Amino acid sequence: MLVRHGQSTWNREHRIQGQLDPPLSDEGRRQAMRVGRRLARHHFVGFYSSDLKRALETAQVIGAATGGSPSPTTGLREISLGDWEGLNTQELAQRFPEAWARWTEEPSWDVVPGGEGAVAFESRVVAEMDSILARHELGDILVVTHGGVIQVALHRIVGRPNHGLFPFRIENASISVIEKRNGRFVVSGVNDTSHLEGSE
């Protein structure tokens, strides 16, 4: 079960986060509480989180509801976006006009100046996911992480490389599910936000 972190202060401001470390906004904490309520009766044999604040805070709120304690790991961090981190799209267009023009024409992690790059990011995420799966042969695993990481995980199941073009919508505090059936992995849910609907 893959949960994207709740809204961060920079999500609210539409700033590129990458591996910079803004905390959850008040709305993000509310979203995390709703995820926690939804998963409160679910038993997980493994509980992992990115070590970046927005994900770890989300995981800790969920853990308070489920009785679990997340294991933070750098392998689940969002992709490093180098010189773009901390900027909004208007600032990107002004400061990096050529790279931004290439991105808008065909998004690719490899055009980001000083960034981690597609191959390194995918290799890191796949290695971390494989390590987690190897520790838990049976049972459900909860992973609280970032949109880019979830995209890589889903791409892998459908057999496509991930270079920056995101065909899946992964909203804050959404739940996506990958299941193992008869020895094969299948995607059984993407971007479920039903727990965020309605009033408190």
For the chain, the domains span 2-196
Q: What is the SS3 assignment for 154?
A: helix
The helix (H) or strand (E) run that includes residue 170 is none
Name every residue whose Cβ is closer than 8 Å to that of residue 5 and which is 6 or more positions away in sequence. Answer: 24, 28, 32, 50, 52, 54, 55, 57, 58, 144, 145, 146, 172, 173
Tell me: the pLDDT tens digits for 44-79?
A: 999 999 999 999 999 999 999 999 999 999 999 999
Question: Which residues are catalytically annotated?
Answer: 5, 78
Cβ atoms 177, 15 nearer than 8 A: no
Is residue 17 within 8 Å of residue 193, measured between CB atoms? no
Q: Indicate whether this model's pTM tops 0.85.
A: yes
Q: What is the pLDDT of residues 101-124, one digit of tens each?
A: 999 998 889 999 999 999 999 999
Is CATH 3.40.50.1240 what the domain over 2-196 is classified as, yes or no?
A: yes
